[in-house]
Amino acid sequence: MAYWLFKSEPTAYSFADLLAEPARTTGWDGVRNYQARNFLRDQVQVGDGVLFYHSSAEPPAIVGIAEVVRAGHPDPTAFDPKADHYDPKSDRANPTWYQVAIRAVRAIDPPLDLPSLGRVPELAGMELLRKGSRLSVQPVTQGQWETILALAQSKSKR
DNA sequence: GCCAACGTTGGC
DNA sequence: GCCAACGTTGGC
């Protein structure tokens, strides 16, 4: 059991979009960075926890929790000439790009915005908070995961 | 819109 | 293998 943070620009694909999917599930396609690809292909497992993060948002924030429902498998959009992230160099016999499938668990409301996360001592050292961090699939430690869930719980409006 | 911090490409 | 040029990400 491991934990991850997945980034998405909400104008491209938001947590609300995930909640609106059939079975609240989608293939996490379009990842075209080798370090992120390696995590998706080799390490992300069914049952792992996912923090859903909105980048280039106002403010950038962790907005939901998801779980992995299918481990790494080839990303079909890499083979589709009409897809945004089509990669003519990838082929089905030896795929370059991988995806996993995730299912929404619940929204974090209010979201945990980036400036606030930066003030949490327990999260010092989190990859998301590192200056220049661009990795779109990043590992989260169990301690970071528990801290974030506790923050979400304590601020939750019900 | 700016720009820092990357990652990728390609000449050599 | 080096590294300059270029492209991208993403906070501000």
Question: What is the domain-level CATH number for residue A62?
Answer: 3.10.590.10
Domain that holds residue A111: 3-156
What is the reported pLDDT for A127? 95
Which residue has the least CA–C1' distance to nucleotide B6? A132
The integer distance in angstroms from the CA atom of A55 to the C1' atom of B12 is 39
Phi, psi angle pair for A67, to nearest 5°? -135, 150
When divided into structural domains, chain A yields a total of 1
| CA gap A12, A136 in Å, rounded | 14
The integer distance in angstroms from the CA atom of A33 to the C1' atom of C4 is 22
Could you tell me which residues come within 8 angstroms of residue A12 by beta carbon, excluding any fewer than 6 positions away? none
What is the reported pLDDT for A152? 93
Angle (CA) A138 A66 A76, round 5°: 70
Does any strand C atom come closer than 7 Å to the Cβ of A9? Answer: yes
Does any strand C atom come closer than 7 Å to the Cβ of A129? Answer: no
pLDDT tens string, chain A, 158 residues long: the values are: 899 999 999 999 999 999 999 999 999 999 999 999 999 999 999 999 999 999 999 999 999 999 999 999 999 898 887 788 888 777 888 899 999 999 999 999 999 999 999 999 999 999 999 988 999 999 999 999 999 999 998 877 65
Does any strand C atom come closer than 7 Å to the Cβ of A8? Answer: no
A35 CA: nearest nucleotide by C1': B7
Neighbours of A104 (CB within 10 A): 22
Closest CA to A105 of A40, A11, A19, A20: A19
What is the reported pLDDT for A87? 84
What is the reported pLDDT for A154? 83
Longest C-alpha distance within chain A, in Å?
A: 50
| Protein side of the strand B interface (CB < 7 A) | A 33-35, 131-135
What is the reported pLDDT for A132? 87
